[in-house]
């Protein structure tokens, strides 16, 4: 899929999210929040759900937690324009409560399609609800700052996932701020490992095709060294 095709797919998903009524969250939202970022990225950040400011702006991570996410990105020399940011649920849960299982399930197809469109090498999960989508059963206190393969049913294909606390957690527990910055330092390395893994898989997948192509070549006994057709 080309970048233009990926952008078109993301825009189409966003248009559907904007008018979605699949769960009760549409009854209390101001604006749905599909996600924001470039279609050319290898990295997707997935949070929990929109908050008050996001609900008003229609954009993810624009409140205090968003300001901290911007700082985290800047600390490794990145910016929002280089990644794609979205949430597990696309509408704000009332009073910023945790999203309910049926609400997460209702929104799951949108996230799956975004993953399919972007095909990210690395998914950075922000908070336990995002982490649970890609690594069910993991405990964020044990796995934050580490990466692992995404669950086969997550929609992330062959991506690696990197677990982090949600930036909003540091607004309530200031000791987590240092942890977030320390964990963020590992994101570029995780991306490099994700790239190497993809390259290895691509190489492995190409081997049967190469072998089949080699078997179809003219036998050496029939090779005419004076015939240069097809070499230039």
Q: How far apart are the C-alpha atoms of 138 and 146, rounded to whole Å?
A: 11
Q: How many domains does the chain have?
A: 1
Model confidence pLDDT, tens digit, residues 7-24: 999 999 999 999 999 999
Kindly state whether residue 220 falls inside one of the protein's structural domains: no
Kindly state whether residue 224 falls inside one of the protein's structural domains: no
Helix (H) or strand (E) holding 17: helix 3-18
Kindly state whether residue 33 falls inside one of the protein's structural domains: yes
Kindly state whether residue 229 falls inside one of the protein's structural domains: no
Closest among 121, 129, 120 to 165, alpha carbons compared: 129
Kindly state whether residue 225 falls inside one of the protein's structural domains: no
The answer, yes or no, to whether residue 149 has pLDDT greater than 90, is: yes
Domain that holds residue 85: 3-209
Token pair, residue 39, equals 């279609």
Model confidence pLDDT, tens digit, residues 45-82: 999 999 999 999 999 999 999 999 999 999 999 999 99
The answer, yes or no, to whether residue 227 has pLDDT greater than 60, is: no
Report the CATH number that the domain containing residue 42 is assigned in CATH: 3.40.470.10
Kindly state whether residue 227 falls inside one of the protein's structural domains: no
In this prediction the pTM is 0.88
Kindly state whether residue 181 falls inside one of the protein's structural domains: yes
DSSP state of 121: S
Model confidence pLDDT, tens digit, residues 36-46: 999 999 999 99
Cβ proximity of 127 and 161 under 8 Å: no
Where are the strands (E) in 22-69, listed by range?
Answer: 36-37, 43-47
Kindly state whether residue 232 falls inside one of the protein's structural domains: no
Q: How far apart are the C-alpha atoms of 213 and 229, rounded to whole Å?
A: 18
Check residue 212 and give its pLDDT: 57
The answer, yes or no, to whether residue 194 has pLDDT greater than 80, is: yes
What is the band of 232 on the pLDDT scale with cuts at 50, 70, 90?
very low
Across the range 142-157, mean pLDDT stands at 92
């Amino acid at each position: 899929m080309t970048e233009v095709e990926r952008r078109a797919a993301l825009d189409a998903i966003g248009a559907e999210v904007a008018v979605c009524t699949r769960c009760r969250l549409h009854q209390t939202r101001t604006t749905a929040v599909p996600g924001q970022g470039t279609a050319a990225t290898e990295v997707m950040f997935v949070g929990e759900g929109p908050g008050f400011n996001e609900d008003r702006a229609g954009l993810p991570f624009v409140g205090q937690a968003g300001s901290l996410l911007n700082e985290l990105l800047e600390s490794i020399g990145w910016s929002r324009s280089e990644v794609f940011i979205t949430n597990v649920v696309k509408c704000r849960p009332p009073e910023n409560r945790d999203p309910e299982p049926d609400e997460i399930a209702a929104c799951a197809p949108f996230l799956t399609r975004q993953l399919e469109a972007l095909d990210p090498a690395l998914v950075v999960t922000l908070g336990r609800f995002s982490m649970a989508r890609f690594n069910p059963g993991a405990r964020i206190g044990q796995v934050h700052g580490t990466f692992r393969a995404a669950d086969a049913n997550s929609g992330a294909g062959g991506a690696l996932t990197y677990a982090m606390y949600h930036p909003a957690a540091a607004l309530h527990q200031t000791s987590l701020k240092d942890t977030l910055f320390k964990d963020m330092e590992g994101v570029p390395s995780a991306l490099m490992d994700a790239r190497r893994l993809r390259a290895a898989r691509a190489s492995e997948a190409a081997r049967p095709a190469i072998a089949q192509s080699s078997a179809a070549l003219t036998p050496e006994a029939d090779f005419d060294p004076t015939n240069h057709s097809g070499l230039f």
